Structure formats: C-alpha cells, structure tokens
Structure 1
C-alpha cells in the first residue's frame, strides 16, 4: 500500500477543521441527552401507544436515528453506533407488536408489512448506513440478504414477477403487495385528504369531484377510496425502482451475482417501458405488463405524473441509475433519469427573475387538460409571470431543491451535466454563495448548490459556513428539547425525527466529497472514505479532520489536518465501497506516487496537515462493504 506522511506543522488549525471535529463531539453529547429523555424506561420509543392500530409511521421512527451509523462511519464516537443499534432493535420489537387493520402487525419478519417505496426508502436508510458502519456484524448482513430476498421472483410474498420484470404493487413489503387497501386508511392514519388534496387530484373524469377542495371533504371518503383502489392499488410504478438499493446493499455485503442481476433486469424493464411510451416514463404498469393498464392512461398512477409529479417520479430512475453505475461502471445508465429531466427542460419556459437573469420553469406534472387549479384551455397562459398549462404539462416551477440534476453530475462528472445544473438555477432564490442555516429539507438540506459554488471556486469560506449551519441545527434541536422539558407533550410518529440532533450533510460533503444521498432510498456515493488504523474501525481517527477541496473528472484535492493531541495512522479509500482507483497522487511537498490501487496509508502526527492531489479513475472496481485488510 502506498504511504504518505504529513510533515507540515500547523500552529493554528483552520477554522473548518476545529469546527468539524467539534461537531462530531457535540453530536454525540446531544444524542446522549436524546436517548435518555425520548425513550421510555425500557428504552422503547414513546410512539406508537399500546392501543394504536394503523398503517403509517414506522419509517418516521427509524428516521429518528437513521443517520447515527453514518456519522459514526465518518469518524463519530462509538456510542453513536451503539445507541443506533439499540434503538433499532427496540423499534423493531415495538413495530412488530403494533397492529394494522389487516390483522397482522406493522413489521412482519422485521420488515414493513406493505408500504410504498417513498416510505420504505426512508426507513431503509438505516439499513444501508449500517453497511458502512458495521459490515462485520452478522445480524446486519443477515438482514440485508433477507430483506432483499423478499423481492425475488420465488419469494412467497409475491412482490416480484420475474418473468415480466415488475413489482406487482405500488405498496409492497414482507406481506406482499395484496394488502394495499386504501379504505383501510380511513380512521387508521389518514382521512380523505391523504396526499391527494395537497398534490391535486390525479384524475379529471370522476364526476363526484368538481374541484380539488372536494377531496378535503370527509363525505367524499368512500368514493375517493374506491377510485384509489381501482387505479392505484396494483401494478408497478417508478418509485419501486428504489428496490434496487435493497439489492445493491445485499450485493455490497455478499458479492452474490443474483442481487446484481436483479438490478440490471429491473432497470432495463423500466427503460423499455419508457421507450415504448415515447421516451416518457409511465407512472403505472398493470400486472400483465400493460402501460397505463391501472390508471387508464400512462399518467395518473400512485405518486405519479398527475400526483406529486417530478419530485416523486425522479426518485426511482435516479436511485436505480446510481446503483447500476456503481455495480457496472457504465455511465450510460444515467441516460435514463437524464432523459426525463431533459424532456421537462425542453418543455420549460424562461421567466424573468431579476433585471439580469431569467429562470427556467419546468413542468412538474402531466395530466388531462384543465387539471384543477389550472387553465382548462390547454394553451400556454401566463398569469402574473406564472406559466399554468401547456400540452398536458402543468405546474411550471423552478427545479426547487430536488437533487436529481446534482446527482447526475456527481455520477458522470461531465461538463454537460454540470451545465445542466447551472441552467436550472433559480435566480430568484438565495445566493449560491450563502448558507442558510434554516434550510432543512430532508432530500437536499438546501445546501447542495452552495457546495457546488465552493467546488467551482466561487464560495471560498463554504467549509466554515456549512459547519456553522450544522452546529446551529444541533443547537436548535437541543433548544427545542430544553424548552419542552425533555418530554414531548403528545408524541406522534414524527417526534423522534423532528428532534434528531445529528446533522450529517455537511460532514458528507467535506470529509467524503459526497452529496446527501437521495433521501427516499439512495445509497451514499462518495469520492473517498477514511479508516482509523489504530482503532481498527471506519471513520477519521479522533482529532483528524478532512476536507475534499475539489472534485473534477480527473480526481480530487484532499486536505487532512490533525487538530488532536496524538499521532494517528489512517487509510484513505477511493470511493465509499472501494469502487474507484487512485492513479498518480502528489503531496504538498512535491512527492509523487503511482498508486494504482484503491487505498492510501497516511501517517499524520499531532499538529500537522497533509494535502493530496489524487488522480482517480471512477467506478472501475467491484464495490464492497469489505474494509481494508490493514484494519484487521
């Protein structure tokens, strides 16, 4: 293994390095308070109550601690892993005893009984993060294999039809896809306003509904649930492409080809459907493989083009393409999500944002002419600068904080994808050279564009500012806990998620050169990963901070600083899973080494720093959770 040693002394450590190391410590301290006060005397979550019967909320409980293993894997304290493991086991036990209207519990065999992959994706982030944190835990590996097996064609669940290469229902899980009955949502978690009122009605041909507000009327519940069961309870939808993460996770643990092949078979099936549908991914496919065979046309399905639109449609193709590239190395898979974004951009319109710039507004939804809240004429119309409807496309908006374009660039490293991100910039929103500590959207945290500005050289103090924002989020959560006396008055399913004090997004960007994974079920995709040789564990050694200062198609710039009091030995790995390979690596003293491998050994004494310029060939190695042999 190639070895580098830090020899440059640091009399005053950089602000970002001190703040980064302090964030690891503060996060652990906050988690200790969180664990002490927000679980009962047996260590169980305070929700759901004993008499609860329902369908929703299991993912929200797991989201209360899903990122603790990830922060541990980046260099956090051992207690983060211990607490996360303990609370996950407690959550499984509770959810396995929480009843649903179907006569079986929420969790069956430790997996959600029947939910959509928006929620299953969120709940399984913990599962994927444990692969990075503790791949040697036999229970972690066994669960990864067992969860993936739920989606094999020969599984008793009936989730997957291997011959037709389709998931047989929009909601699926350990009990299969046939427990999707929207009438059960009445009085068991949601009323008639469940998601449809907020996102507008997906259909125009239901005579009982004259306007979108009718969805909010409980008197219409019975008819609404009838229509939902008719058009949204069976067949395949793009969101099911998130199952590829479950399969990729199992592959990273085992290297078994059956998981890898499943990913490629399923993504290819969806690409064929997209081509057959004129280049636009359909949002519903019946169990016999017919496009539009559930909703009556290619749009109008569950979480589809007429429902939540691009925000939900973009999840599955992006996640699946990332997984395929990770497993195969062929960037051509990125054409799948890219083609969908390009269609939206081609149908977009420039709207003046200020005296200098126009902002591209892309359509986020597709539906029948005259969709609720929009002009029924079917022609382009502007109302106070807002485009309403054109040729079936509607809800023209900025790309908002959806991360799909950023993930395309990150995976491809192509200038064309980087320019695509720039062309979607919302000039009417915050300056890319500013970090907003209030921005806490789950899927991107509102800071990805500021990070890109830093990588472009336009936001020099971003590392300090993102650490400030991360500290602010931890302290805001602690302030909330103090204000309520460390006891929520009426815990609901969100109570843990809304108080989780751990903030991982800035740490991912700085230490691993990684964007926030697609929150609804994506895996971590990173430039580098670090390991502590002295402790034989993943993550930066105690006292060591890392900063990926540049990411280019040719490689990265990385700086390591030891702000602690002890000399440290560490390994830098190319990629989160060893999928990349270092070429020529130069240090700040001019030493140049041809590495031609995925690992670098670094000796970094106390009070020193080391800067490396590393050429990198991406996605050329078989990815694995296996840790470097030097840790053993």
Structure 2
C-alpha cells in the first residue's frame, strides 16, 4: 500500500474541521438517552404495544429506526454503534418473528420479511446493507445476505420469487414465503377510508360509486374499490421490485459470485427493454405472462405503487435509480444510467414552466376526480396557481394529457444522476430542474424528510464553488438537529401506549447527510434501498476499523470525473494519526496518482501554492507560515495510507479512475499481504 507522510502545520484549525469533530463527538453521546428511554434492554422496540399484533406492515419502520447508525460508524462514529447496530437487527428480527401477518405466516419467516412490497422492504433493509459496510466479516450477516438474495434466485423451493421465463418478479409482494397475492386477498378486500388516503387520490377513476375519496366511507364502495385493487394490482411485476436488485448486489459484494451479477443485469435489462417498447416511459404493471397492462385493461399505468397511486415518480424513481446505480456498480457500464436519465428527461419534456421553474408531472392517470389534498403545497392546481387544496381553496390539481401532480422534481434524482455519471450534460439537467421560484441551493433550510436530509442542490452548489460556506453552515445545522432531537426527548411526555410504528424514527438523534457529503464526497443513499455511492472511504490504520481516526477531519472540496480533491486535518496537538483512504465505497474506483501539499522552509511572509493559485499571507510578528510545496506520487491502487503529524493538514488531489475495479466489501485487511 502506497504511503505518504504529512507534516504541514496549520496556523489555526479550520472551522469546518472543529465542527466536524464536534458533531461526531456530540452524536456519540446523544444516542444514549434514546437507548435508555425508548428501547428495551434486550433491544426490542416499544411498538407494537401488545404482543398479539397482527399485520403485514411496520417491520420496515422498526429497521428504519436505526438505518443510519452503521453509516455513522463507517464515517467514524464510536465503536458502540457497531455493537448497537448488530444488537438491534437481531432483536427486531426476532421480535417481529413473533407477530402474525394474518396470511398463515409470521411477519418474519426465515429471518426475513414473509412478503411485502419493495417500497417498504427497501426502506427497511437499507439498515442491513449498511451493516455490511460496517462489518463485512460478520459471518452470520454474510450468511443471511447470501440466503436473502437466494430467495430471489429461487434457491429456496419455499420462496419462489422470480419467473425465469419472463424475467419478472411476478407479484408486487415478495419475500421469504415467495411472491404471491396473499396479502392483497387477506387485507385489501375492503378499501375503507382512512385519513392518510386523502393525500394521494384514487387508484382508479372507473370504480362504480367511487367518485371521490369520501365515497370510500361507504362499505359497498370500499368493497368495490378493494375488488378492483385485487383484480388489477395484486398480480404482476412493478418498477418497485427493481429495489430487490440491491439485495442481490449485496450478496455479490460479499462473495463476488457471478450468478448474482447475471441475475441483476438480466432483470434490469428486461425492464429497460420494456421501457423502450413503451415509448420511453417505464410501464408500471407487467402481467404474469410478461405483458404490459395484462391485468389492467392494457394500460401501462395503474399498477401497485405505480404512476397513478400513491406516490407516482417518487416511488417509481427509487426503483429506476437504484437499479441503474446497482447495474453500473457491478458491471462498470455507464450506459445503465440512461435508464434513469431517460425518465427524468421524459418528465422534463412534459413539464409546465412557471416563474422560471420546471414543474414536472409526477403521476399519470385517467381523467376524473383530482380534488384530493396534496401534502407538499408546491403542486400546480388546475388554474396553474400554487394555492394547494390544503389551504382551503378547493381546487383540483392540474391534470394535463393524462399527467398530473406537476411540481419541482426531488433534488436527489438529478443529483444522483450527475454524481454517478459526472457528465456536463447531466449537470445541465440538474441546474435546469432547480426550483428557481424558491431557491434551495443558496442556504440551508429545514426539510421534513425521513433521513433528515434534502440538501443535495446546496451541496452541488458548494462543489461548483458557488456556496463556499456550505461546510460550516451545514455542520452547524446538523449540530442543531441533534440538539433539537435531544430537547424533544427531554420534554417528551407521550405515553408509550400511544407510540406509533415510527416513534423511534422521529427521535433518532443521528444525522449523517452532511458528514456523507463532506467527508466521503457522497450523496445520501437513495432512501428506499440504495447502496452508499461514495468517492472515498476511510479506515483507521491503527485501530483497524472503518472510519476516520479520532481527531481527524476530512473535507471533499472538488469532484471531477477523473479527480477527487480532499483536505485532511489532524487536530491532535501531540499525536500522529494514520488514515487509509479507499477509492469508492466498495473499492470500485482506482487511485492512479496523488498530488499533496507538504512543508517547506519557514518564513514570516510566504508565498505558497494550493491547487494552482498563488497566495501571499502577511502574518503577525512572531508567527511563521511555512512555505507550502507539492509532491506527486503514482499509486495504481484503491488504497492510500496517509500519516498526519500532530496539528498538521494537507490537500490531496487524487487522480481517480472511476468504476475501474470489481466492487466488494474487502477491507485493507482482507488480504494477508496488506499491512
């Protein structure tokens, strides 16, 4: 492993570095009140309130409560987060194996979801994927990863989840007891009104007696809608099932066995072909015989978690994006990104522009009733105003040529596209789709998201050199998020008997978006089941564990297609720190050379070069600024060992060949010749 030594002292520690370490130290302590008050000593969570719970939902919410703990450990969080993550996965899995799904199976069978849609499975099993980054040597979880993926390769005769003739996962619900329609038949016979339904509209506009959401309050109408859902939505493949590619990719990263790559590529290729044959729009329901719209009157839209209901592009985009990223990761072929790019462009082509902002359609459905209440408040109404129905205006959302819910696209889709491709044309798409009527890339704002994120555009603006204070402002914001969660817990008077399945999620004090962006040069993983896509990873060379060593801070300043610029700081006054940099979250990239700053002769007035620009600093008498020079070393490896002397820093310009290596969970200590 190539090694370099850094001896360039800083005159004063960078503010961002101090804040970064403050945030890490804060979260190391902030988790303790959550554990002590809201989790049983054996790791079981305090929902559901009774042991006789029956249902198919909420395993995902239980796992989600801890989804970012392994990521925090991977960045440099305390060692306890490794133990806590392993403990909670075991405890939750065992806990939910004790609940009846109402379908003849327990909620968890063979340590896995008995069967559910991948919108929820994707959310929940993200926790499991991140644990492999945290500890790939854990034999039990590695065995689980292989067994879980085997469910989708039909390696378990009791869990047939893939039709090898038509290249489909033949039902929207799949799992350890196979893909079937049993959940629909058991639980969705009557689609009775619940308050949450008023935010998403109707699945179909042609069900007799059901003209508005309110009509579902009548039993006969609820039965009619339930019958239509079972008839049209319960069978066949849907884009959300593409999220299963992460479970298969996870097994590949553990083993390198080619069968996983073959399955993943074949399944994604089949969806790409269907999309091309459907005039470039991904269809949302594929029948049991592989025919688009087979169980839905020939319509390419109207599937479960599809274009019409409930989230439209928000959920379809997760499947498409994750599949494109996984295929690129395993195959190294950037052409797979066209799957995602084509859908974003197709929506943009149908956009309505208002106040300089592209309002893209998120849903497609038949003409009918569209007077439901939208949550966001940034959807165009039928008169092209932004006066949402929730404000008492009683206006329908805009429906145009079958497309509806026109609003600015979520930032993470174009951000992930550009991040994965590094193409200027994709940066143009990203900039084009920003919300120019309400800019969110010039300052930090609070967003209501499950991962406490949503600052993708601001991060990209920083990387472009337009938001130079982003690191400091983002880290201060993250620190405030933690303190607010701590205060919420301190003032919390809610009776545990009234907890909902997300009670832990809204109290979890761990927030990692800023640390991912600034230290790893990575966007937050796509929430419904995306892997961590990162330019860098770190290992503590002395402790032989993932993450930044104590006292070390990192800031990725620039990302280009063939280069990565990162600044490293050792804040300890007397002890050196050794950190290993890895090219990519899974070693999928390759370092080819490194140019780094080193110490020269001391002078009170010095001229030095950092990244090509010459700066002259006048310092107070008695304070000496060392002359800064540069050194270049060839690497040709996906690891680099950097020794940082006490109170020193450096700027690394790492020439990087992206997607050059076979990805895996190997660590610097996976091979005997690595030291």
Q: Tell me which interval the TM-score lies in, with the shorter structure as reference length.
A: over 0.9
Q: Are positions 1:209 and 2:210 aligned together? A: yes
- Confirm or deny that 1:246 pairs with 2:247: yes
Structure 1 partner of 2:640? 600
1:391 corresponds to 2:431: no
User: Match of 1:273, SS?
Assistant: helix
Deviation sequence 1:355-401 (CA, Å, 0-9, x none): xxx11111111111235339xxxxx96443798232212221111x3
Between the aligned partners of 1:222 and 1:181, the Cα distance in structure 2 is 16
Which residue does 1:360 correspond to in 2?
Answer: 358
Q: How much has 1:556 moved relative to structure 2?
A: 1.3
Corresponding residue for 2:602?
A: none
5+ long unaligned stretches in structure 2: 373-380, 388-396, 598-628
For 2:52, what is the secondary structure of its paired residue? coil
Give the corresponding residue for 2:595: 586
Q: Deviation of residue 179 (structure 1)?
A: 4.8
| C-alpha distance in 1 between matches for 2:282 and 2:418 | 21
Give how far 1:224 is off: 2.0
Q: 1:442 aligns with which of 437, 444, 450?
A: 450
**Residue 415 in structure 1 maps to residue 424 in structure 2:** yes
Residue matched to 2:489: 481
Whole-angstrom CA distance in 2 between matches of 1:404 and 1:154: 34
Residue aligned with 2:63, SS: helix
- Report the Cα distance in structure 2 between the residues aligned to 1:522 and 1:20, rounded to whole angstroms: 25
Contact 1:31 1:80 (C-alpha < 8 Å) held by counterparts:
no
Q: Secondary structure at the match of 1:227?
A: helix
Q: Distance in 1 between matches of 2:241 and 2:467?
A: 38
Q: Which moved more, 1:209-218 or 1:513-522?
A: 209-218
Tell me the CA shift for residue 2 of structure 1. 2.1
Q: TM-score, normalised by structure 2?
A: 0.88
Shift of 1:89: 0.9
In the superposition, relative to structure 1, how do residues 330 and 627 fare at CA in structure 2: closer, same or farther (>3 Å)?
same
Once residues 141 and 41 of structure 2 are traced to their aligned partners in structure 1, the CA distance between those partners, rounded to angstroms, is: 26
Distance 1:158 1:13 in 2: 57
Measure the CA separation in 1 of the matches of 2:145 and 2:117.
19
Query: CA–CA distance in 1 between the matches of 2:181 and 2:207?
Result: 25
Residues 152-301 of structure 1: matches in 2 within 5 Å? 152-156=153-157, 157-182=159-184, 184-185=186-187, 191-193=192-194, 196-215=197-216, 220-296=221-297, 297-301=299-303
CA RMSD of aligned residues (A): 2.1
CA offset at residue 592 of structure 1? 0.7
Contact 1:37–1:487 under 8 Å retained in 2? no
The answer for unaligned runs of 5 or more in structure 1 is 353-357, 375-379
Change (3 A) 1:485 1:209: closer
Cα displacement (A) at 1:186: 6.4
- Give the superposition deviation at 1:88: 1.3
Q: TM (normalized to structure 1)?
A: 0.94
Structure whose CA Rg is larger: 2
Q: For 1:290 and 1:405, how far apart are their aligned partners in 2?
A: 30
Cα deviations across residues 313-345 of structure 1 (Å, max 9, x unaligned)? 111111001011111111100111111111111
| Cα-to-partner distance string for 1:463-482 (whole Å, 9 max, x where unaligned) | 11111111111111111111
Q: Is the Cα contact below 8 Å between 1:515 and 1:525 reproduced in 2? A: yes
Structure 1 residue 39, shift from structure 2 partner: 1.4
Q: Give the drift of 1:623.
A: 0.5
Q: 1:311 to 1:433 in 2, by over 3 A?
A: same
Residues in 2 aligned to 1:218 and 1:182: alpha-carbon distance in whole angstroms: 18
| Pairwise CA distance, 1:160 | 0.7
Q: Counterparts of 1:486 and 1:31 in 2: how far apart (Å)? A: 19
Counterpart mapping for 1:30-41 below 5 A: 30-41=30-41
Q: Matched residue pairs, number? A: 619
Contact 2:171–2:181 (Cα < 8 Å) also in 1: no
Cα pair distance change 1:180/1:458, threshold 3 Å: farther
**Deviation string for 1:84-141 (max 9, x for gaps)?**
1111111111101011211321111111111111100011111110111000110121
Matching residue of 1:326 = 329
Instruction: Report deviation, 1:220.
Output: 3.2
